Amino acid sequence: MFYSVKRKTIVAVIAVLVLAAVCMTGMANEQVSAVFNNRSLRKVPVYGVDTQEKVVALTFDAAWGADKTQGILDILDKHGVDGTFFLVGFWIDKYPEMVKKIAESGCDIGNHSNNHLNMSTLSKDKIAEELDYVTNQVKDLTGAQTKFFRPPFGDYNNALLEVVEEKGMIGVQWTVDSLDWKGLSATEILSRVNKGVKNGSIILFHNNSDNILEALPLVIANLKNQGYKMVKLSELIYQDAYSIDSNGIQHKVS
C-alpha cells in the first residue's frame, strides 16, 4: 500500500512539474514574440541608400553662426557639386537672406526643427509645432517645400517619425559623421569621410565648424578621385516605393 501511494504521489508531482514547464515555455514564447513584434514596429530614419551607383550626399546642419555658409556655397559651385542644408528655425530667423541664397544655389533645404531640442522628449503636438515653424518659414522665404527632416542630436523615437511622415517628410540621419563640430583638422575630417564612405552614403557636416572651408575642397576632390558623384538628398533618397531595413538603409521597391 505504501509503495502504491508513493508511486501515485511521484506521478502526480511529475505531472504538475511538466504542466508548469509547458506553461512557462508558453509564457517565454509569448515574451519572445512580443520582443520581436516591438522590434518590427520600431521606426527608423534613413541612414543611407542601397544603390549600385557611386553617389553620395553632402549635408550641412545649420544651427549656430553663418559666416562660413557663403564659402561653402562657393566651394560647392566651384566644384560643380550639390548639397543639402538642414536649417533650424532660430537660424532662419536670424539669417533669412542666407536661406534665400542657399535656395538660389540649387541646394536642398531640410527641416532641423525650430529650437534644436531633444525631439523624443516632446509630445506629438509640440513636435508638430517644431516642424511646422521651419516648414512655413522656408516656404515663405523660398517658395520651396521641405522634404526631409533631421532630428537634432540624432535623437528620435516612433512618435517623432510618425509626425514627420504625417507632415509629408522623410526622416534622415547620416552614414558618415565628419565630427567637424569637434574642431578636427581638415585632414582629420578628410580621413573620417574617406574611411566611412560607400555607395549611397549621407555625409554629415556643419555649416560653421572650425575647419569646414579647408576640409570641404579636400573631401570633394578625394570623392571625385574615387568616382563618386555628390548630389543633394532629393537626388539620392527614394521618395516613394521604398522600404527601410533595421539599419536605416533605404531600398527601392520595384
Q: Give the bridge partners for 46, in sequence order.
A: 172
Establish how many alpha carbons lie within 13 A of residue 93's alpha carbon, considering only the half-sphere containing its beta carbon. 8
Amino acid at the residue 184: L
Say how far residue 108 (Cα) sits from the centre of its chain. 16
Cα–Cα distance for residue pair 75/126, rounded to 1 Å: 37
Q: Which of 132, 206, 240, 251 is catalytic?
A: 206
SS (H, E, C) 91-116: HHHHCHHHHHHHHHCCCEEEECCCCC
Backbone torsions φ then ψ of 150, nearest 5 degrees: -115, 120
CA dihedral 183→89→137→92, nearest 10 degrees, is -40
Q: Are the CB atoms for 186 and 215 separated by under 8 Å?
A: yes
Cell of 197: 564612405
Residue 61 falls in the annotated catalytic set: yes
CA distances from 87 to 110, 130, 222 (A): 6, 12, 27
CA dihedral 216→118→154→160, nearest 10 degrees, is -120
Q: Which of 61, 82, 108, 180 is catalytic?
A: 61
Residue 251 falls in the annotated catalytic set: no
Give catalytic residue positions.
61, 206
